[in-house]
Amino acid sequence: MGVGAAAGAVAGGGFALSAHASGSAGSKPSGGAGSLVFDKDGFTELTTTITTDDGDKEVTYHFYKAVTYVARPVDEKYQSLNVSVPVEIDGQPVNASGAPILLANSVGGYMPSSVADATGVGGGGMGGGMPPGGGGASPSPGAPAAGGTGEVPSGGNGQLDDAGKRVSNAELALAAGFVVVEPGARGRTLTDAEGTYYGTAPAAIVDLKAAVRYVRFNKSRIPGDTDRIVTSGTSAGGALSALLGASGDSPLYAEYLEEIGAADASDAVFASGDWCPIADLEHADMAYEWNWGANELSGGGLVDRTVSKELATAFADYQASLKLRAKGFGSLTARNLDDYLLETYLRPSATAYLKGLPESDRSAYLAANPFITWSGGRATFTWDGFLQHVGARKKNTPAFDAFDLSSGENNLFGTGTTQARHFTLYSLRHEKGGSARLDPDLGEKLKLMNPMHHIVKERNPGRSRHWWIRVGTKDSDTSLTVVANLAASLEQLGDDVDAYYYWDQGHGANTDAAGFIAWIAEVTGHDRKKENGGSGR
Ligand code: DHB
């Protein structure tokens, strides 16, 4: 869609426009756009059955569809959100006015994500959820796939539980009585009629921040507690959710937000839920080789040894630069990070998994996996044993900044009519020679896309203080160090971090979704409100 056409559509009146609703508006957003006033009456009432760990729940809710969340949209198909507000659960009335708000993005592969065609919460009624990436745009011809592997990106609706069944945080949150906001966002493959890329970095995070601002600007018009916004996302969406949490109210995004007419309100979020975040992109090639360098590719064979070793060596400097410390380990370095991962995450995760198995299944698992020593109710194993157990690595080297510019991330850092660019000096100089320099705009764009910048470098005071971070131990879409470093850097700042590696799970796993919902109720204080007969059910 062309920029002009989209803007015209808004002037003509989007779903969000309503003369009578604007009468109840408090302040107006800067830029004088009354269109950012949420129409409380613009819903359809829907009823759906949501399967939870506590059995099926029949939920009646108000569904607000495709509400444009910026005053000067580039493309409303993506810059719009859906709101679901529970009004009755299993026949009991619900007052969600003080409930937490889950802002669940469905971004996958840094692709465009649209909720405009969804028929209910979680993309409901669309044959088991929206297709990966939000089901919006199909990539333009020749557009690079996520990770350069031709894989299908997962996205928020691509999460799987331990039985391999689709799981939706959005649906479970609604069934728990929370308000659910599902924002779309521009993505890397979008081009206008002139062939200009308008969804590459930092478009997706700018859009998601604008969505947060819109919700907060509409405090009391959108039911729910705007001081208790919790974001969630998976993979690229997990990285963006982490970035929302880390970069709250950062001035770095101001110009971009102004450009699209974002509401004049805070974009800080209370808590951040991040599944297998594909984050820290400019360091991800190094981290990947440190982690998976010795693992064969799925078709067999090792990746280029020189490239892999050079990247793994460079990782040591990066890891040291983070200046992370952990109890019992001192400084976390490339030399002790394997032990740190084993002790902090991998062995406890294997232990919990094995403890949860019936005796005969545990014996069978241990017989099939002799790399594990099971003693005194605890699993131990070596790093090499673990790597062999995981087996084939998913990506070639470099995993993210591909030499031939074929990765999704190369496209993410495209600009203007340039589809894909290098974003690390290593890959750039490998291709262009030793003195080549990255395009000057990339320094800032990398910061805009990297939660670690806001945590480690900025110690951003506007960040979330509550974090739920998850990844599967068999997920080689990125390095397992990404989650460990994200969690350790937040812990170092004193934040409340609940990080867990799901044993033997791959990319997109969410095997404790009910735990996330309970965690939201706990950290937001919603469970106490309910006990006191407050605004909860
Ligand atoms: C996703 C997966 C990747 O391997 C990647 O590099 C980027 C995004 C995803 O599933 O969203």
At 166-182, the pLDDT tens digits run: 999 999 999 999 999 99
pLDDT at 16 over 60: no
Q: How far, in Å, is the centroid of ligand 1 from the Cα of 401?
A: 13
Ligand 1 pocket: which residues have CB below 6 Å?
108-110, 146-147, 153-154, 235-236, 278, 408, 477
CA of 478 to the centre of ligand 1 (A): 8
Top mutation candidate among 107, 110, 291 for ligand 1, by most atoms within 8 Å of CB: 110
Q: Establish whether the linkage from the previous residue to 451 is cis, with ω within 30° of 0.
A: no
Calculate how far, in angstroms, residue 37's C-alpha sits from the geometric centre of ligand 1: 35
Return the percentage of the chain with pLDDT > 70, whole number. Answer: 86
Query: Which is the closest atom of ligand 1 to the Cα of 507?
Result: 10
Question: ∠ at Cα 486 (482, 491), nearest 5°?
Answer: 145
pLDDT at residue 124 in the model:
61
Average pLDDT estimate for 385-406: 98
Half-sphere exposure of 407 (CA within 13 A, CB side): 24
Residue 463 has pLDDT above 90, yes or no: yes
Kindly tell me the number of DSSP H helices and DSSP E strands found in the chain: 19, 14
Measured in angstroms, how far is the CA atom of residue 219 from the centroid of ligand 1?
A: 34
* Exposure of 297 in the CB half-sphere (CA atoms within 13 A): 14
- Residues 6 or more apart whose CB falls under 8 angstroms from that of 450 comprise 243, 279, 280, 281, 282
Confidence band, pLDDT 50/70/90 cuts, at residue 144:
very low
Verify cis geometry, omega within 30 degrees of 0, for the bond prior to 153. no
E strands, 36-178, are: 44-52, 55-68, 80-89, 92-93, 101-104
Written as one string, the DSSP assignment of 56-78 is: EEEEEEEEEEEEE--SS-S-TTT
Of the chain, the end-to-end C-alpha distance in Å amounts to 43
- How high does pLDDT run on average in the chain? 89
Confidence check: pLDDT of 126 > 60: no
Q: Which residue has the higher pLDDT, 7 or 331?
A: 331
Task: Report whether 285 contacts 426 (CB < 8 A).
Answer: yes
Kindly report, residue by residue over 272-326, the tens digit of the pLDDT: 999 999 999 999 999 999 999 999 999 899 999 999 999 999 999 999 999 999 9
Rounded Cα distance between 326 and 490, Å, is 12
With bands split at pLDDT 50, 70 and 90, how would you rate the model's confidence at 128?
A: very low
Q: What is the pLDDT of residue 28?
A: 37
Sequence-distant (≥ 6) Cβ neighbours of residue 2 within 8 angstroms: 192, 193
CA-based nearest residue to 408, from 212, 152, 194, 205: 152
CA-based nearest residue to 464, from 240, 212, 237, 246: 246
Of 79, 43, 45, the residue nearest 221 (C-alpha) = 43
Residue 105 near residue 233, CB atoms below 8 Å: yes
Closest protein CA for atom 10 of ligand 1: 153
Residue 374 confidence (pLDDT) above 60: yes
Residue 198 has pLDDT above 60, yes or no: yes
Rounded Cα–Cα distance for residues 408 and 487 (Å): 25
pLDDT of residue 13: 29
- pLDDT at residue 19 is higher than 50: no
Tokens at 128, concatenated: 């088991």
Provide mean pLDDT across the span 400-428.
98
pLDDT at 230: 98
Q: What is the pLDDT of residues 259-286, one digit of tens each?
A: 999 999 999 999 999 999 999 999 999 9
- The full length of the chain comes to 537
pTM: 0.90
Kindly tell me the sign of the dihedral angle through the C-alpha atoms of 375, 379, 382, 384. Answer: positive
pLDDT computed for residue 123 by the predictor: 86
Residue 338 CA to ligand 1 center (angstroms) comes to: 23
Ligand 1 atom showing the smallest separation from residue 152 Cα? 10
Name 85's bridge partners: 62
Domains of the chain: 18-278+509-531 (3.40.50.1820)
Q: Is the dihedral of CA 114, 115, 119, 120 positive or negative?
A: positive
Q: Please tell me the distance between residue 288's alpha carbon and the centre of ligand 1 in angstroms.
A: 14
- Give the Cα separation of 179 and 200 in Å (integer): 30
